[in-house]
Amino acid sequence: MNGPTDSAVQEAALQARRSGLAVASLVLGILTFVPPLTLAAIPAVICGHKALRKIKGSPDSLRGHRAALAGTIMGWLGIVLAFVVFPMTLPALSHARERYRRISCASNLHSLILTIDTYSMDYDSFYPDKLSRLYPNYVSTLEIFKCPSTNHQVSSPERIEEDGSYIYVHGLTEKHPPDTLVLYDKPGNHNRYGTPGRNEAYVHRKGEWRSGG
């Protein structure tokens, strides 16, 4: 008795329906690599494994083995990325972001020192008795009084020192020694990521970072 001919085998393969689970696994596996949809990896693996089992049990009526296998592999890769690789990189990203914020904070202090020096030229070398004297004639935005590492919100010029991020030393003039502290971070501005310290600005000197402050 002769076995099925090649044409009969091909015809049977064409008549076999594609597994819906295999298609779902493939689509979900692709979506795994779209950042907001990373967790699609889990259903991709589940659908893929179910599809592979069903296709193995009904090889004549179901097709889609390659799609199910591809979806399963991509799903497992997504799981590794989501639960192993990404968590390992998050601390480094957080520290890099905080470093950028520290630099922006120091830039704020540097700008404020330059502004205070400009103020002193108009007021016989005296620094302002409070930071609110600088707004709006010397600085045009209240954001400069906010450290980027904090959630501080300066609601009005009158509340710059209460709501802002920096402590201002009163009673100084531009004639004080260059190592005289003028402005510095409020406690805790930069402690969120385990790198305690503060930015400081001195008479005629730009803002700079001091560890452990």
Q: How much of the chain exceeds pLDDT 90, in percent?
A: 61
Give Dmax (Cα) for the chain. 114
> Where residue 70 falls among pLDDT bands split at 50, 70, 90?
very high
Judge if pTM exceeds 0.85: no
Asked if pLDDT for residue 137 goes beyond 80, the answer is yes
pLDDT at 1: 47
Q: What are phi and psi of 181, to 5 degrees?
A: -70, 130
Q: What is the pLDDT of residues 77-95, one digit of tens each?
A: 999 988 888 777 777 777 7
Cα separation of the two ends of the chain: 91
Contact 65, 55 (CB under 8 A): yes
User: ω before 36 within 30° of 0 (cis)?
Assistant: no
Other Cβ atoms closer than 10 A to 206: 14
List the domain boundaries for the chain: 6-87, 92-211
DSSP code, position 128: P
Average pLDDT of span 149-162: 92
Residue ranges in the chain assigned as alpha helix (H): 6-15, 20-31, 41-57, 65-80, 86-122, 160-163
Going from the C-alpha of 164 to that of each of 113, 121, 193, the distances in angstroms are: 16, 25, 20
Mean pLDDT estimate for the chain: 87
How confident is the model at residue 46, as a pLDDT?
95
Please give the single-letter amino acid code of residue 111: S
Asked whether residue 7 carries a pLDDT value surpassing 80, the answer given is no
